[in-house]
């Protein structure tokens, strides 16, 4: 009898096309390597448009990495509120150029798991570690 493999569903929401591609490729490469080691599957979805992301958002989303300023008047705060409605257990990390305490604290208060400064030279590795943490959370057995 074949045991079903766990699947991790990750989304990147970044409106800058170049940075989106860079981040998504790194996340996908890292996540797929981890998934092989952990005998699970991973799907990385990439979005540059908030509406496309929100249309696809459902309870199966495990982790989201999103930019703070998203165009069309949306911010990460708007998106986090929607994620909490449809995917309550989803881990969220916000990446931004904005480096003020209000921005980071407000995203954490709304339920983000982390805040990553894009100007940090380790921003993309930090995003990869966020994905690793999300994967570990999903794959670790829960004891009551």
> pLDDT digit string (tens) for 57-106?
999 999 999 999 998 899 999 999 999 999 988 999 999 887 777 777 77
Q: Does residue 1 lie within any of the structural domains? A: no
Q: Does residue 49 lie within any of the structural domains? A: yes
Instruction: Considering only CA atoms, give the Rg of the chain.
Output: 15
Q: Does residue 118 lie within any of the structural domains? A: yes
Q: What is the CATH number of the domain that holds 123?
A: 3.40.50.2300
Q: Does residue 27 lie within any of the structural domains? A: yes
Position 142 scores a pLDDT of 59
Number of structural domains found in the chain: 1
Residue 84 burial by Cβ neighbours in a 10 Å radius (0-12, 13-18, 19+)? middle
Q: Does residue 58 lie within any of the structural domains? A: yes
Contact status, residue 96 vs residue 117, Cβ threshold 8 Å: yes
pTM of model > 0.85:
yes
Q: Does residue 16 lie within any of the structural domains? A: yes
Q: Does residue 144 lie within any of the structural domains? A: no
Residue 17 is given by DSSP the state H
Contact status, residue 135 vs residue 91, Cβ threshold 8 Å: no
Position 104 scores a pLDDT of 78
Residue 139 has pLDDT above 80, yes or no: no
Position 66 scores a pLDDT of 95
Residue 118 is given by DSSP the state T
Q: Does residue 43 lie within any of the structural domains? A: yes
Q: Which domain holds residue 92?
A: 7-139
Residue 111 gets the label, from left (phi > 0), alpha (psi -120 to 50) or beta, of left
């Amino acid at each position: 009898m074949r045991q079903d493999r766990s699947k991790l569903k990750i989304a990147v929401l970044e409106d800058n096309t170049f940075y989106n591609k860079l981040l998504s490729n790194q996340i996908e490469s890292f996540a797929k390597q981890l998934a092989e080691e952990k005998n699970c599957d991973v799907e990385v979805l990439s979005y540059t448009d908030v509406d496309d992301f929100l249309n696809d958002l459902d309870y199966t989303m495990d982790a989201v990495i999103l930019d703070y300023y998203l165009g069309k008047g949306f911010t990460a705060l708007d998106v986090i509120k929607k994620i909490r409605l449809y995917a309550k257990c989803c881990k969220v990390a916000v990446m931004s150029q904005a480096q003020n305490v209000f921005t980071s604290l407000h995203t954490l208060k709304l339920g983000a798991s982390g805040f990553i400064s894009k100007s940090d030279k380790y921003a993309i590795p930090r995003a990869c570690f966020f994905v690793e943490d999300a994967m570990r959370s999903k794959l670790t057995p829960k004891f009551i």
